[in-house]
Structure 1
Amino acid sequence: MVTSFFKKLFNIRDRNEQVKFTGRTAVEKRQQTPTPTVKPIIEVSPKLAVESQLDLSSLFYSFLFASTQTDTTGIANNLERRVMQDIERALSSPQAIAENVLKLPSKILELDKKLADDNIEIQELIQLIEQDPLLCIEVLKLCNSPAFKRAEHDVTSIQQALVQVGRQQLRQFITSCLAREMIDIKPIYFRRFGAEIWRHSMQVAFLASELAIPEQRERAFLVALLHDVGKIAIFKMLVDAFYQAEPGEQPSSMLFKQVMTSKSLALSALLARYWQLPQHFEAPLTLLANTNIKPDDQMTLVIWKANIISECSMLKQVDKLPQSALAVLLAQVEISEQEFADLHQKLIEF
């Protein structure tokens, strides 16, 4: 019964189904059969779209927090209320967050600008990168990671990395390594969050770069990499509040997860403004903060799609996303199940 339903829903033909002989040639069939109009797999109403994204975000936060508690009443506990008050203060005064909670590495924009300058000689570029030994180590780690490794032998120098992965890819690696400095989760209990949120940010950056038009790929990568800085800032507030919480209190209410979804994106945009990032970085982050609508701006739409695909992939990997919910979400980002399956296999490597 379920199998037949999905076959009807996705118009899947059984592999054993016999093709009936009609007496017409293939050419005649093409001439007589009107070209079918391509339609989305599922028609998603605006209400269903909003609900499915909220459910996805809630599932994703449950995965990040690894909480055994589940509260669907919408009532926040003391820990959550304290953090929600901190979030409101941060939104009214992002300066304190940008200076004390989540600092943007000073080198990130300066180095990114130089890497984008084609007039800089290769040797000068290599020397510039090698001035920071820790950065070199992190870049080489990334070059040799399963997601990006291109050859049998490991990359052992920045010069070799430049030859093997190219200037554009190396620029993305360096930007990623510098941005990672912001995710510094000390307590062991919360290290999983830090690792998973960084993995998510890298996945979204990779997907955004793949989905963007060629002239926007570099910008899409960096905007996507920074889209979750508000989430990281809020989590650091949560870590501070956790020390003052009652034993056993954890972030578990649906209300708190919804607040994190909407407020974290707004905070990302405010932090981008305070850091004085170019307008073309701040604008998509501001548009993403409106979680009730699908964005129509090209750059914002790319980040929006990449975020949904990554969250679906990470939840599917731990078997936390129902197939019916996945179908609705894939219809929104306009990719087929097979396309998602291919991307999912790639994202597992991150």
Structure 2
Amino acid sequence: MKKLETISISQMAVLYFAYVTGSAKIVIPGPLISMAFNAAWLSILISASFGALLLLIIFYLHDKNPGLTLIAISNKTIGRWPTVILACAMLTMALHMASGIIIDVSAFMTSMMLPETPNYIFMGMLYFLAALLLRSGIESMARMFSILIVFVMGFWAIVLLLLIPQYHPEFLRPVFPVGIKPTLLGAYLTAGFPYGEVVLFAMLLPFSRAKQTKPLKKALFWALLANAATLIISTLCTIMELGPMATEKRFSVFVIAQMIEVGDIIERVEAVIGLALIAGSLMKAAITLFAIQLIITELFKLKNDRLLTNPICLAVFLLALTMPSNAKRWEELVFIVHPLWVAVVYVLPLLIIAGVAAVKELFSEPQHSS
């Protein structure tokens, strides 16, 4: 890279919030409620705690190796060829994420808004926008996302507030209708998406201009807390509005937005939720593609990472077109395979790198003190 771009701590927190939230607040509630029922919010608390633990491990490595990406830290800690293996494994999940995010948007558009429009139209436009964002650089992305996230969260909050008269709190009971196993199953789902994906975001930490790690760590933990609160509120509002029907709806927040009627003036506001889904997914896709670009740049020691932008976006677009077209098969891949895949290619490599770093530090301390 010709020069290292830098962003402020608050902008890094916004990027992290956009990355872990993205379209999750609209996509997650329906499938999560179908798994964990009324205890879905407890599943989010459990998986958010897991995400906080991963953040602690990431910052342990970042403290010991300031200014280095996760791939560079791995190179320094476990060597070149083990790093190549781990990086290639991470790329498999990252490419799946980058294609899956846009597949979800396409599925939403073709099932809810424009059913006769081909998938590749939506996918092509979103990848084109993502390529423009990547070529503009992380500084421009951070500035744009800081504004965009305000509108996305504003639309989301307005929709949920307008539904207050229609909520039925009694639908929240019982919390464990069939025991605790469904809650753990829901935690398994959300531990993979979105909290286990924080490992990929570690690639972006060197771009923070923070001179000390503590303020950055605090900002990202606040962003994680805000994300957990957002998902919990979305889930609780969905249950209170739809009740037993919540388990049958895929894009449940969009469905409840269709029920808003304030006199004859405010109705059919689900379009703003559609815009929030598209914008959130675009932000997460751009950040994911940026991380992929960084990993490949680090592996091959390229000087200009933006030469990869168009090939990566084209390759992921073609990959998205080859994904399962059957909605049921795609949901099985995301809800069952995805969390396990994240554990193997994201969490396990992070634990290996952190474990080797801790052992090296433990055995080097006596020599240093002598």
Q: Provide the TM-score with structure 2 as the length reference.
A: 0.25
Bigger Rg, which one? 1
What is the TM-score with the length of structure 1 in the denominator? 0.26
